[in-house]
Amino acid sequence: CGPAAASLAVLLFALSPLTVFYGRPVMLDSMMLFWLLTSLDLLLDGEGRLSRVALSGACFGIALLTKETAIFVLPAMLLLAVQERRAHHGRFAVLGWLLPMTIVASWYFLYALLKGELFPPGTFGDTRPHVSLLGTLLWQTRRDGGGMFNLHNQFWHFLREDWLWRDALLPLGGSAAVLANLLLGWRNRVALVVGLLGALSIYYLARGGIVFNFYILFALPFLALNIGVLAAPLFARLARWPLASAALVLVLVALASLHWWS
């Protein structure tokens, strides 16, 4: 999307009070985001090297091992693998991404199997009490947080009482950019994938399950990325004047800072 639009997205994400506040503690969410964004960066490597595709898949697998939340953006990553690599490696690119990701992610299940903690107690005649990976994953899917359309659930509570209070610009502006990019996606493949990344991260928060305030970290980089992609055509018109592009980025970030720290 160009260096100016990319700089705008990075600065909006890095300087957002939500990122500053919730990004400081050492949490699984932060570590998962590192591997997830690394996987995304490797997959977007424009040189078409299959080794980058495989490494991207491995990084996504590590993100899954770090925290299962990464699974929510898997459809968008697969779509990106199909779109970006078709011209270089065809179907091999998708397989070259899926295979390393599956191998790395399977360590989770292999470790549980070797410890006898993959299946719930009572399965295959095992009656001893123990924790179970599959049982825990099933329990996680059944955790009730009030339903997506319940305005009193945890998502809407944190949105009103915490997230918008700390930074209304990135959640609201990013959500609007997600909708715009999805609408533009029928003629812009980049906008479609980026919009899907943002939509899936928002769905993770709003799906109605248990939500904690720091879960917003998962959506922030994708919301900022959507703003950058939506602003890319504007910066493309200023490509002949790089100083003007840089000045516009600084002005926009300065205006955002006035909102953040007012």
Query: What's the whole-number mean pLDDT along residues 38-50?
Result: 82
Largest CA distance in the chain: 72
> How far apart are the C-alpha atoms of 188 and 211, rounded to whole Å?
33
pLDDT in tens, 190-231: 899 999 999 999 999 998 778 899 999 999 999 999 999 999
Q: What type of residue sits at position 29?
A: D
88: confidence class by pLDDT, cuts 50, 70, 90: low
Please count the other Cβ atoms lying within 10 Å of the Cβ belonging to residue 248.
Answer: 17
Query: What's the whole-number mean pLDDT along residues 53-80?
Result: 93
> How far apart are the C-alpha atoms of 161 and 153, rounded to whole Å?
12
DSSP state of 114: H
**Residue 145 confidence (pLDDT):** 60
Structure tokens at 101: 């990701």
What is the domain partition of the chain in residue ranges?
A: 3-254
Spell out the residues 6+ positions from residue 231 whose beta carbon is closer than 8 angstroms to its own. 5, 8
- Half-sphere exposure (Cβ direction) of 72: Cα atoms closer than 13 Å: 21
> How far apart are the C-alpha atoms of 27 and 78, rounded to whole Å?
26
Residue, of 132 and 89, whose pLDDT is higher: 132
> How far apart are the C-alpha atoms of 20 and 14, rounded to whole Å?
7
What phi and psi values does residue 185 have, to the nearest 5 degrees?
Answer: -65, -20
Q: What is the pTM of this model?
A: 0.89
Please check whether residue 176 is in contact with residue 230, taking contact to mean a CB–CB distance below 8 angstroms. Answer: no
